[in-house]
Structure 1
């Protein structure tokens, strides 16, 4: 019995090369409604899809469109699998790439600064719930389960799966389409 935690493909939205912290609010909103367009899954993702898993997904368009690119229709789309949001702070005088802003905001979040978004502890509770749902689906169906999700929440779910006795057969990559495989014997 396997659970596959896969990160979505590359979203179509790129936005400006550098933005202010105020502009980052708009950038995040655009990123969250972006799908993956014509991003083609790599052979590794296709091979995992060919194991015949039940597909589940985050409700964000980049996750759903990634499953569609794999030729999968999710049996479950749920907020419990949604990415942990970034706390957005106004930091005047800086123009950074959205990637660098995301790093700054994620580090603030990891340090406990969750301004107007769920805290790390709350995200861990949600990840525990998500892990239990995935385990239940795997047990009920006796089939692999493929979650099309996101970087941070997938890592939190992976941690919870391991605490439930699931073995990490392969670590998820950090890039788009990266997947970790977890099994129970």
Structure 2
């Protein structure tokens, strides 16, 4: 049994200039609604998608549109596979590029800050539920999850704890990592 993780393609989101922490709420909303535009897809990612028996994605537009670009309709659409939510703060200074604020708030999230976002504790619990669902899907054949950077890594960590082995899911858009079950069920 194999479970592969692929990060979605690069979203077609136009940067909106520098923003305040409070304006990140709108940027996050736009990012969450953004689809993946036309782009070069690595051959290995395309081949992995075509060889998968089951393709799963989150309900995020960027994950679903990635599957479409790869020529597949997801067999499973489930918000359990969605990205770890990004918090923000309700202050109006200073202005920085959204990518800087995203990095700052992601680091803060890892340390427990979760204003207007799912906590790291709840996200890890969701990752465990996602791992269990992927293992059940793997009973039907090879599984490909077209998911998200942080969540793919959290799910992979749960799979490792369940006896699966593979490389840490890649951060790059379209990056693929495959996990293989090494512990027989019930062992």
Query: How high is the TM-score relative to the length of structure 2?
Result: 0.92
What residue in structure 1 maps to residue 129 of structure 2? 129
CA contact (8 A) 2:163 2:181 kept: yes
What residue in structure 2 maps to residue 2 of structure 1? 2
- Count residues in correspondence: 182
CA RMSD of aligned residues (A): 1.3
What residue in structure 2 maps to residue 99 of structure 1? 99
The alpha carbon displacement at 1:2 in A equals 0.8
Distance of 2:151 and 2:91 partners within structure 1: 26
- Which stretches in structure 1 are left out of the alignment for 5+ residues? none
Distance of 2:4 and 2:37 partners within structure 1: 23
The alpha carbon displacement at 1:97 in A equals 1.4
The alpha carbon displacement at 1:99 in A equals 1.1
CA contact (8 A) 1:22 1:90 kept: yes
Distance of 1:119 and 1:24 partners within structure 2: 18
Distance of 2:100 and 2:44 partners within structure 1: 28
What residue in structure 1 maps to residue 17 of structure 2? 17
1:175 aligns with 2:172: yes
What residue in structure 1 maps to residue 157 of structure 2? 159
Distance of 2:113 and 2:97 partners within structure 1: 21
Structure 1 residue matching 2:173: 3-state secondary structure: coil
CA contact (8 A) 1:40 1:69 kept: no
What residue in structure 1 maps to residue 185 of structure 2? none
1:1-185 pair list within 5 angstroms: 1-139=1-139, 141=140, 143-168=141-166, 170-185=167-182
- Which stretches in structure 2 are left out of the alignment for 5+ residues? 183-187
Query: How high is the TM-score relative to the length of structure 1?
Result: 0.93
Structure 2 residue matching 1:50: 3-state secondary structure: helix
CA contact (8 A) 1:171 1:179 kept: no
- The worse-fitting range, judged by mean Cα deviation, of 120-129 and 18-27 is 18-27
Distance of 2:178 and 2:117 partners within structure 1: 29
